[in-house]
Amino acid sequence: MWQPDPTSLRLFVAICEEGSIARASEREAIAAAAVSKRITDMEQSLGTPLLSRRARGVSPTAAGEVLLRHARHLMHSVEVLQADLSEFSTGVRGLVRVMANVSSIVEFVPDLIASFLQSNEKIGVVLDERVSTEIVRGVADGIADIGICRDFVGGTEVQMLPFRDDHFGVVVHKDHPLSGMSILAFPDTFKYEQIGLSVNAALNSLMKRVASEHDRPLRYRANVSTFDAALRLIQLNLGLAVLPIEAVTRYRQTYDICTIPLSDDWATRQFVICVQHVDKLSVAARRFFDHLMSSDSGCSHPPNLPLQGLPVLPLPPVP
305 occurs within a structural domain: no
60 occurs within a structural domain: yes
Q: Is the pLDDT of residue 205 over 50?
A: yes
Same domain assignment for residues 192 and 178: yes
Same domain assignment for residues 91 and 61: no
Total tally of structural domains belonging to the chain: 3
Condensed to tens digits (0 to 9), the pLDDT of residues 72-81 reads: 888 877 777 7
309 occurs within a structural domain: no
146 occurs within a structural domain: yes
Closest to 313 measured CA to CA, from 168, 187, 153: 153
Strands in the chain per DSSP E: 51-54, 57-60, 94-100, 123-129, 146-150, 159-173, 194-197, 220-224, 241-244, 257-261, 268-275
90 occurs within a structural domain: yes
Looking at residues 41-70, what average pLDDT do you find?
A: 91
Same domain assignment for residues 62 and 86: no
Query: Residue 117 half-sphere exposure, CB side, CA atoms within 13 Å?
Result: 12
152 within 8 A of 132, measured Cβ to Cβ: yes
* Structural domain boundaries, residue 110: 82-164+270-294
Same domain assignment for residues 223 and 276: no
Same domain assignment for residues 184 and 243: yes
Same domain assignment for residues 112 and 187: no
Phi, psi for residue 278 in degrees, rounded to 5? -55, -45
- Please tell me the predicted confidence (pLDDT) of residue 195: 93
- Please tell me the predicted confidence (pLDDT) of residue 163: 93
- CA–CA dist 2, 39 (Å, integer): 12
Same domain assignment for residues 148 and 275: yes
Strands in 12-78 per DSSP E: 51-54, 57-60
The domain that holds 110 is classified in CATH as 3.40.190.10
β partners of residue 228: none
Same domain assignment for residues 25 and 154: no
110 occurs within a structural domain: yes
Same domain assignment for residues 285 and 137: yes
- Please tell me the predicted confidence (pLDDT) of residue 307: 31
- CA–CA dist 232, 225 (Å, integer): 12
Pairing of strands 51-54, 57-60: antiparallel
Condensed to tens digits (0 to 9), the pLDDT of residues 263-317 reads: 999 899 899 999 999 988 888 899 999 999 998 654 444 433 333 333 333 333 3
- CA–CA dist 245, 316 (Å, integer): 30
Same domain assignment for residues 132 and 280: yes
198 occurs within a structural domain: yes
Q: Is the pLDDT of residue 318 over 70?
A: no
- Please tell me the predicted confidence (pLDDT) of residue 24: 93
Same domain assignment for residues 64 and 190: no
